[in-house]
Amino acid sequence: MPNESTREFLLDVFRDIPDLRVKAMFGGFGIYRGDLMFALEADGQVYLKTDEINRPAFAERGLGPFVYEAKGGKQTVMSYHEAPPETLESPHELAPWARDAHAAAVRAAARKPKKGAAKKRRASGQR
């Protein structure tokens, strides 16, 4: 179960991000700007959303992806990478990384079909 001190730490270190919410989930926390999750905390590590645009900056620093064990023991790699450790000591240093992570979340959301869009296409005979 996530603890309150971790939640308070996340609210503090991400304080330069507007419309910030931190929600408990799966033993850790999801970090949101508005309705978009752009970061997560699991087992004391903070991960930021990545995509083809911002992932190279993480790779250059040797910052690994978030990996979890799914049912059946399968390792699942997600599009979140470790936040640079030194940025977790300063909201000012974390802010540009967090803004880039939020931008990656916005791009990912734009690529997803709108809820109900497939159902509407099927109903109208389109594919």
Q: Where are the domains of the chain?
A: 4-124
Render pLDDT for 79-102 as a digit per residue (tens, 0 to 9). 999 999 999 999 999 999 999 999
Task: State the pTM of this model.
Answer: 0.86
Q: What are phi and psi of 39, to 5 degrees?
A: -155, 160
Check residue 4 and give its pLDDT. 87
Render pLDDT for 32-45 as a digit per residue (tens, 0 to 9). 999 999 999 999 99
* Range 56-64, long-range pairs (CB < 8 A, 24+ positions): 57/100, 58/82
Q: Tell me which architecture the domain covering 4-124 has in CATH.
A: 2-Layer Sandwich (3.30)
